[in-house]
Amino acid sequence: MLLVVGLGNPGPKYAAHRHNVGFMAVDELARRAGADPFREKFSGELARASIGGQPAVLLKPMTFMNLSGQSVQAASAFFKVEPADICVVHDELDLPFGAVRLKLGGGHAGHNGLRSLVSHLGTGEFARVRVGIGRPPPGFRADVADFVLSAFDSAEAPGVGPMLTQAADAIVDIAKRGLTAAMNARNVRPRPPKPPKPPRSVESSASVGAEAAAVQPAKPPDGEGGERA
């Protein structure tokens, strides 16, 4: 069984914030999978679903971000899910907006939700689906906390849907093929296309030929040239 955890803060006040992309991605996954309705359990909202052909539990802790580990620990203990079978979806400042990357283990990098999970589970060795929200733009004068606890701006709004789709796809891929195969397939950065070579014009080819002819020594007429006896 796979335990899929989306991190966020409860209530309409926080629903559209960057810090809540974990909740948003789990909601998108639940919609696509035809999951059971969410119900209150383990200090969170929980739904059952089939993801990638295997049973899964979707969990949105309602404890506020910095206490998320309480809900996750209770759910994992009840369903007897090992950390290796926990998949956590969270916002990531260190990725550009719209990027989605997979990772196994690691620290919390100052993310209070991850910090709480590591503390309550006793390990950080669980799968992470890192959803990029980017760093505050130049000129942003408030704290980073104010940035993550704010809504996506008008320029970002069209990219939110595709980003959540990509995160949901990644979770399905993990369920189907395992984390290592999914990481190998999805963490590859596309190479920028090489610029096309400029076409070689007929005129330039002719000029090159003329220049080459100009530097050739003139051939002396028959019977002339060379040393005379």
This prediction has a pTM of 0.81
Q: What is the pLDDT of residues 175-199, one digit of tens each?
A: 999 999 999 999 976 565 666 666 6
Model confidence pLDDT, tens digit, residues 30-69: 999 999 999 999 999 999 999 999 999 999 999 999 999 9
Active site residues per annotation? 19
**Which pLDDT does position 225 carry in this prediction?**
45
In this prediction, residues 17-25 reach a mean pLDDT of: 98
pLDDT of 158 above 90: yes
Residue 204 has pLDDT above 70, yes or no: no
**206 or 59, which is more confident?**
59
* Structure confidence at residue 95 (pLDDT): 96
pLDDT > 90: what percent of the chain? 78
Q: pLDDT for 87-128, tens place per residue?
A: 999 999 999 999 999 999 998 988 999 999 999 999 999 999
Q: What is the mean pLDDT of the chain?
A: 89
Residue 174: pLDDT band by 50, 70, 90 thresholds? very high
> Is 226's pLDDT higher than 80?
no
Higher pLDDT, 201 or 188: 188
Written in H, E and C, the secondary structure of the chain is: CEEEEECCCCCCCCCCEHHHHHHHHHHHHHHHHCCCCCEEECCEEEEEEEECCEEEEEEEECCCHHHHHHHHHHHHHHHCCCHHHEEEEEEECCCCCCCEEEEECCCCCCCHHHHHHHHHHCCCCCEEEEEECCCCCCCCCCCHHHHHCCECCCCCHHHHHHHHHHHHHHHHHHHHHCHHHHHHHHCCCCCCCCCCCCCCCHHHHHHHHHHHHHCCCCCCCCCCCCCCC
pLDDT at 37: 97
Please report which confidence band the pLDDT of residue 139 belongs to, taking 50, 70 and 90 as the band edges: confident
Q: Which CATH superfamily is domain 2-186 in?
A: Peptidyl-tRNA hydrolase (3.40.50.1470)
